[in-house]
Structure 1
């Protein structure tokens, strides 16, 4: 399992499938929003939580089609399906590799981008916490979508259409945590719901993804 995780991490860095692409998109979005909306700090501070979460969501979406694509093309996916290692475990490792190369860098760089959007100081902790709790759900849900579309030519658009509706609850509660934190309000309810979504996705979707992969590989 660890060997599979390290292999996916090496492939992600060599192929440029997640790390640099997601960070570049996140940075570009944070730079373009003030240029398009205007430099007024009050306006940017009000929309910053939603913009940062939308940017993180779209950045995670960029590399989803690569989760299983390379393994499907070279036949490694068939070997994983017949290996002694449970396919559910392999799927979990691929979701973890996607989060480590996409979600975790977004969590780490988000305070810097918050400065560009004049995010209130009280919200920085909750921005980091919400992204750390929510981005794993984005990777696991994205892995399920990638499993559904594996082997399809030009399946990237279909993958986006399938995954985006499933991302909405994570986006809503994640942005709400940051917004409430910026206003000094209690964040217990949206934070608990966000954690519940991530816990449910991590507990259920690897099994669903493995089942879908077995069907697609028949």
Structure 2
């Protein structure tokens, strides 16, 4: 598992599809919002939690189409399916590699991008906490979508249509926690719901991903 994680991390950085691509997209979304609605500080502060969460979600989605596609093309997935390591564990490692190269950099960069949207000072801790709890769920759900569309030509668009509805609960509770924190309200309830969603996804989604991938490889 450790060797597979190192391999996926090396491929992600070498291909430029993880760290740099997700951060660049997140920055572009953050910069374009003030141009589209105007530079009024109060309005930017009000919408900052939702915009930052939506930008992080779309940035995670951006690199999912290559999560399993390259391994499918070079035959690595066939080897993983027949390896002693359970396929569920292999897909969990791939989801972890995706989070480390895409989700974690977004979590660390979110406070800086919050400055561009005039996020309230009280909201930074809650924004980082909600993203740290929610982005692992995005990676795990994304792995399920990648497994579902592997081998399909131009499957990126289909994958986006399939998994975006699954992202909605994470987006709702993550943005709500950040919004409540920015307004000085109690945010423990949406954070608890977000943590529950992430735990459920981490526990169940690898089995669903492995099941659909085995059907796709037959």
Task: Classify the TM-score, shorter chain.
Answer: over 0.9
The equivalent of 2:89 in structure 1 is: 89
- Whole-angstrom CA distance in 2 between matches of 1:75 and 1:179: 45
For 1:83-162, list aligned pairs within 5 A.
83-162=83-162
Q: How does the TM-score come out when normalised to structure 2?
A: 0.99
- Whole-angstrom CA distance in 2 between matches of 1:217 and 1:32: 41
The equivalent of 2:205 in structure 1 is: 205
How many Å apart are 1:61 and its aligned residue?
0.3
- Whole-angstrom CA distance in 2 between matches of 1:148 and 1:3: 25
How many Å apart are 1:42 and its aligned residue?
0.1
- Whole-angstrom CA distance in 2 between matches of 1:204 and 1:166: 14
How many Å apart are 1:36 and its aligned residue?
1.2
1:86-124: per-residue Cα shift (whole Å, max 9, x none)? 100000000000000000000000000000000000000
Q: After TM superposition, which residue ranges in structure 1, 4 or more long, deviate above 4 angstroms?
A: none
The equivalent of 2:22 in structure 1 is: 22
1:119-171: per-residue Cα shift (whole Å, max 9, x none)? 00000000000000000000000000000000000001000000100000000
Alpha-carbon RMSD across the aligned residues, in angstroms, is 0.5
Q: Which runs of 5+ in 2 are unaligned?
A: none
The equivalent of 2:176 in structure 1 is: 176
How many Å apart are 1:188 and its aligned residue?
1.5
How many Å apart are 1:35 and its aligned residue?
1.2
How many Å apart are 1:209 and its aligned residue?
0.4
For 1:22-41, list aligned pairs within 5 A.
22-41=22-41
The equivalent of 2:50 in structure 1 is: 50
- Whole-angstrom CA distance in 1 between matches of 2:121 and 2:143: 34
- Whole-angstrom CA distance in 1 between matches of 2:192 and 2:20: 31
Partner of 2:151: helix, strand, or coil? coil
How many Å apart are 1:183 and its aligned residue?
1.0
How many Å apart are 1:189 and its aligned residue?
1.1
Partner of 1:91: helix, strand, or coil? helix
- Whole-angstrom CA distance in 1 between matches of 2:135 and 2:151: 25
Q: Which runs of 5+ in 1 are unaligned?
A: none
